[in-house]
């Protein structure tokens, strides 16, 4: 990460997550996208979450016997509350920004299924998005099991939304760099004096048309897109998606810099999804290249001048694992031939 990014840790429950069906009806509190604290509210007018009063699936941490989910009201700041609400006491901690610079691509390319989401969550934790809330459990018919018994979880809807946004942004960014006309022409088009776009063809879902430029929406972009082509439009879209992903999910803090010997301003995420959008913003600013490991499938940063430009593995461990696998293959074929 660049010098502006501060230290950030996230928690992952040691026993992973489970899927629970519930409804989000007049909870005591929820995380507000517009601020950095849990806020109380009573009515549907103040609740902009699409799963309000509608049965949906939630990702819930597996907790040790007898342990109860802590309440968000026990914390003064959401950045302190969310990791514990989403993981419980028995959890592992890691640093997404410092040690996993391509993690945003893992989110962009997860399988759009419960298995894909749970695999990511069990490894990297919940997103900590606006889909985190208290909810009431329901049975398969949607009947509330106990209206007074609430638990904390993160809606699966929020995962599909965030992964879909990240997928669109990453694919359009890559397509702009490669001048991939197939992707650009299928997602972006001129409509009179406006430019429109919708989700990329291999995305999670069709998001509906949105403006890139219109007479009353960034009209200056229209002439730049006419001049530079659809790749410029794709970069404008990526810019808008990243800014939306960062909004109210990162904040500036003054922290002590041991090297400089003075306080320094740093950008700190308040949740994992904010960290991933900050990662992506840093990759765009640095014009980084990425590869996908031929052994484990993980994404990694390809550092210019460091080794071969066609590097295929994320680590020496994966490279050696692939080497041993190739070395064993002729022996297996020989044994089959003998039989």
Question: Domain count of the chain?
Answer: 2
pLDDT, one tens digit for every residue, the chain (339 residues): 556 666 889 999 999 999 999 887 543 334 444 333 333 333 333 344 444 567 889 999 987 766 666 655 555 555 567 787 788 878 999 999 888 889 999 999 998 888 999 999 999 999 998 888 778 888 888 787 877 677 888 989 889 889 999 999 999 999 999 999 999 999 999 999 999 999 998 876 655 678 999 999 999 999 999 999 999 999 999 999 999 999 988 988 888 888 888 998 889 898 999 999 999 999 998 877 767 676 666 666 666 555 555 577 666 667 667 666 767 766 555 556 655
The secondary element (H helix, E strand) that includes residue 12 is strand 10-13
Q: Is residue 298 part of a domain?
A: no
Which of 146, 164, 182 finishes a domain?
A: 164
**Residues 277, 284: Cα–Cα separation, whole Å:** 11
Q: Taking the CA atoms of 303, 309, 314 and 318 in sequence, report the sign of the dihedral they define.
A: negative
**Residues 327, 77: Cα–Cα separation, whole Å:** 54
pLDDT number for residue 2? 59
List the structure tokens of 246.
Answer: 């960062």
Name residue, tokens 């992973």: 16
pLDDT number for residue 43? 36
Which of 164, 187, 219 finishes a domain?
A: 164
pLDDT number for residue 313? 66
Cβ of 180: how many Cβ atoms within 10 Å? 17
Q: Is residue 128 part of a domain?
A: yes
**Percentage helix, strand, coil for the chain under 3-state DSSP, each rounded to 5:** 40, 25, 40
pTM of the predicted protein model: 0.81
pLDDT number for residue 76? 54
The alpha carbon of residue 197 and the mean position of all alpha carbons in its chain are separated, in whole angstroms, by 21
Helical H segments across the chain, by residue range: 78-85, 96-99, 103-108, 114-124, 156-178, 181-187, 220-228, 230-246, 272-286, 316-338
Residue of 136, 100, 125, 133 whose CA lies nearest to 5: 100
pLDDT number for residue 49? 45
pLDDT number for residue 64? 73
Q: Is residue 284 part of a domain?
A: no
The answer to whether residues 137 and 223 belong to one domain is no
Name residue, tokens 């342990």: 67
For residue 234, report the phi and psi dihedrals to the nearest 5 degrees. Answer: -60, -40
Which of 124, 139, 164 finishes a domain?
A: 164
Query: Could you tell me the residue range of the domain that residue 130 belongs to?
Result: 10-164
């Amino acid at each position: 990460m660049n010098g502006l990014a501060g230290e950030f840790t996230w928690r992952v429950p040691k026993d992973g997550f489970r899927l629970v069906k519930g409804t989000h009806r007049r909870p005591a509190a929820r995380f507000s996208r517009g601020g950095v604290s849990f806020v109380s509210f009573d009515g549907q007018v103040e609740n902009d979450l699409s799963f309000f009063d509608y049965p949906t699936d939630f990702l819930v941490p597996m907790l040790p016997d007898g342990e109860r989910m802590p309440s968000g009201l026990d914390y003064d700041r959401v950045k302190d509350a969310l990791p514990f609400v989403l993981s419980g006491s028995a959890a592992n901690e890691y640093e997404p920004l410092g040690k996993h610079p391509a993690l945003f691509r893992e989110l962009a390319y997860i399988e759009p299924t419960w298995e894909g989401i749970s695999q990511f969550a069990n490894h990297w934790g919940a997103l900590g998005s606006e889909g985190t809330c208290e909810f009431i459990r329901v049975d398969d018919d949607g009947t509330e099991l106990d209206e007074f018994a609430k638990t904390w979880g993160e809606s699966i809807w929020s995962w599909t939304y965030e992964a879909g946004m990240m997928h669109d942004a990453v694919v359009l960014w890559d397509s702009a760099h490669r001048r991939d006309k197939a992707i650009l022409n299928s997602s972006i088009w001129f409509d009179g004096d406006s430019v429109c776009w919708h989700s990329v063809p291999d995305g999670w879902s069709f998001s509906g048309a949105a403006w890139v430029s219109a007479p009353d929406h960034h009209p200056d972009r229209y002439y730049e897109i006419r001049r530079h082509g659809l790749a410029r439009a794709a970069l404008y879209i990526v810019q808008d998606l990243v800014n939306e992903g960062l909004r109210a999910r990162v904040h500036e803090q003054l922290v002590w810099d041991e090297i400089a010997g003075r306080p320094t301003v740093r950008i700190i995420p308040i949740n994992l999804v904010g960290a991933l959008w900050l990662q992506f913003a840093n990759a765009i600013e640095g014009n980084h290249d990425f590869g996908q490991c031929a052994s484990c499938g993980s994404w990694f940063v390809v550092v210019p001048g460091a080794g071969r430009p066609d590097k295929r593995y994320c680590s020496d461990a994966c490279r050696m694992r692939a080497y041993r696998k190739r070395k064993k293959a002729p022996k297996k074929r020989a044994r089959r031939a003998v039989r």
